[in-house]
Structure 1
Amino acid sequence: MKTLDLVIIGGGPIGIACGLEAQKKGLSYVILEKGPIVNSLYNYPTNMQFFSSSEKLEIDEIPFISNEAKPKRSEALEYYRRIVTSNKLNMHLFENVTHVEKVNSLFEITTSKDTYKGINVIIATGFYDIPNKLNIPGENLAKVSHYYNDPHFYAQQKIAVVGASNSAIDAALECYRKGAEVSLIIRGSEVGQRVKYWVRPDIINRIEEGSIKVFYNATLNEIKPQEIIINTPDGLTTIKNDFVLALIGYKPNFKFLEQLGITLSDDDKKLPTYDPNTMETNIANLYLAGVICGGMETHKWFIENSRIHAKMIVASILEKRK
């Protein structure tokens, strides 16, 4: 079994950036992605538009041209796929990492298809794989989803959207415009302040005109096959319901990080330990890159401000060779 200079776990934009940098610097590497190229982006809603402009989503100074200033999901998929194929990156797709263990000075990485050895490992797995749960009765019913794809599915249905962030608001507006009867359930007193600035006035106007019903300072109490029970400031309210979209955010795979020996902060943020100058964790030669660095602070790191992690990590690896 060949020992690689670097094994990159995660084939999203930051994982790709790490692969590009490793390739440029002559390091032997592999990128392991459990699904298709940029699996997380592929699983974003079909009609999603990014908050960031296209130039802020560029990696390795490769131009990203989009029809509008803020690109759509389909344009991002095209952009990152072209980078992988045109640069002939060594990316193994649909290969899920099942175990990572450090034996002496080398890492042994086991996947659903093969086994690898690496001197260095980068974890660039993001946080989109594990949804936050409501932890209420009925959450496991087939009518409940923690992911949203296409509004056509919900046409002429009574749907409840739980959440106040971009994913929830986008879903509520799209489904409403495809003929769904939408109820928004928001834990706080207003639509989230981080909602895209061109979308927030739209949802507020739809709420004020009565097109979309909203329950502020409310939580779901129970989900039943044909109705839901909402805990509101005025008490429990029951409404008819066909589908529930519980879009309340996602979190990194903390169990995986802990199994690797990476220490996490004791508070609710669960911030992983790493050197901000090199991105190296408390485990020698084990690095973090991208949004996973923020723990539960999933709004801290984005593609645009974590692109630099690739250069920082590869520079650290090369420095250790001297």
Structure 2
Amino acid sequence: MEKLDLIIIGAGPAGIGCAIEAKLKNKKVLILEKTKEICQTLRQFYKDGKRVDKAYKGLEGENYSHVRFEDGTKESTIENFESLIKEHDISIEFSSEVESVKQDKENFIVTTSKNTYECQNIIIAIGRMGKPNKPDYKLPPTLTKIINFNANNVQNNEKILIVGGGNSAAEYAVDLASKNQVCLCYRKDKFTRLNDTNLNDIESAANQNKLLLKLGVDILEVEDENSKAKVKFNDGTFEIYDRIIYAIGGSTPVDFLQKCGVNVDDKGIPLMNENKESNIKGIFLAGDITTKNGASIVCGLNDAAKIISVLK
């Protein structure tokens, strides 16, 4: 059984940042990633060419870590982290699902679908968006191709309904409205979770009739209408759309955290101290899994610097 100083679960920016910081301190480190590639959130939930900002709207923008990161696109950001992995000789075990985490005296035994490891510390950096939230009502299985949880499959000149009131929903709506007929539906009568930039952008677009806002309205049902989505609203109206995009957040993978022994609050946020250490000594958390509404890449990199500075 291989012995390591640190195992990092998740090969997104926060996980890679943790590995780089650890390597700079001569730690023996391994990243475990359940998919076949790094940065799955970027790959899955960002459309091609989407801007990735260092000073992300309203969130921490100053990078205190040793990891280089600047403004760019989805593609350039992934390329940057791939380059950093090579530069720092970071070891990643892909297609490796963590099956169990157990304590053995002062160390941990981590069993994956491929191997078993012993390590002193663990950092969980798996992100929140691996499991997107879905609505309570049933969605027709025949509409799987046009009911999405990201904007990757959107074509030009589509009639699109975007559901949600967070920053992702607003960004999708403003971005897609340039080449599509977009309606943003939010169950509350006003936006309560948008940062200032996105609030200004969405209100400006609506005022210029570039997109339609359907606020204070909820969806009762979605039906298959000749391979399009017939959406019935609780205001007594209905519309037919070429595509629906649900941007209603991602749920913290509570089951996995609890399997590791990590306690969470009533909103599914892990309980941590100021150094991002959980209730289990030696298990830390980094990136947007540590927050209610998500974190920027810089926040994740700063988490990495903070955590590695206190590792035993």
When the two structures are superposed, what TM-score results if normalisation uses the length of structure 1? 0.83
| Residue in structure 2 matched with residue 280 of structure 1 by the alignment | 277
Aligned alpha-carbon RMSD (Å): 2.5
CA–CA distance in structure 2, aligned partners of residues 206 and 281 of structure 1: 42
Unaligned runs of 5+ in 2: none
What's the % identity of the aligned pairs?
Answer: 27
- Give the Å deviation of 1:196: 6.5
Contact 2:17–2:67, Cα closer than 8 Å, also in 1: no
Q: Give the letter aligned to residue 40 of structure 1.
A: T
- 1:164-212 Cα deviation digits (max 9, x unpaired): 333222322333323x332211222345663572x55443343234342
SS in 2 for 1:307: helix
| Residue in structure 2 matched with residue 112 of structure 1 by the alignment | 113
SS in 1 for 2:236: strand
Q: Which runs of 4+ in 1 moved over 6 A?
A: none
- Give the Å deviation of 1:40: 1.7
- Give the Å deviation of 1:150: 4.7
| Closer/same/farther in 2, CA of residues 57 and 30 from structure 1, 3 Å limit | farther
Unaligned runs of 5+ in 1: none
Contact 2:107–2:121, Cα closer than 8 Å, also in 1: yes
Contact 2:65–2:305, Cα closer than 8 Å, also in 1: no
| Closer/same/farther in 2, CA of residues 16 and 196 from structure 1, 3 Å limit | farther
Contact 1:9–1:33, Cα closer than 8 Å, also in 2: yes
| Closer/same/farther in 2, CA of residues 14 and 202 from structure 1, 3 Å limit | closer
- The answer to whether residue 222 in structure 2 is matched with residue 223 in structure 1 is yes
- The answer to whether residue 310 in structure 2 is matched with residue 316 in structure 1 is yes
CA–CA distance in structure 2, aligned partners of residues 190 and 283 of structure 1: 40
How do 1:1-322 residues align onto structure 2 when only pairs under 5 Å count?
1-35=1-35, 36-43=37-44, 44-53=46-55, 56=61, 60-65=65-70, 70-138=71-139, 140=141, 141-142=143-144, 143-152=146-155, 155-178=156-179, 180-191=180-191, 194-195=194-195, 197=197, 200-226=199-225, 227-231=230-234, 235-265=235-265, 267=266, 269-276=267-274, 278-294=275-291, 297-299=292-294, 301-318=295-312
Contact 1:225–1:242, Cα closer than 8 Å, also in 2: no
Contact 1:47–1:150, Cα closer than 8 Å, also in 2: no
Q: Give the letter aligned to residue 273 of structure 1.
A: L
Q: Number of matched residues?
A: 301
CA–CA distance in structure 2, aligned partners of residues 205 and 63 of structure 1: 34
CA–CA distance in structure 2, aligned partners of residues 107 and 202 of structure 1: 47
Q: Per chain length, whose mean CA-contact separation is higher, i.e. which structure has more relative contact order (CA < 8 Å, sep 6+)?
A: 2
CA–CA distance in structure 1, aligned partners of residues 66 and 105 of structure 2: 37
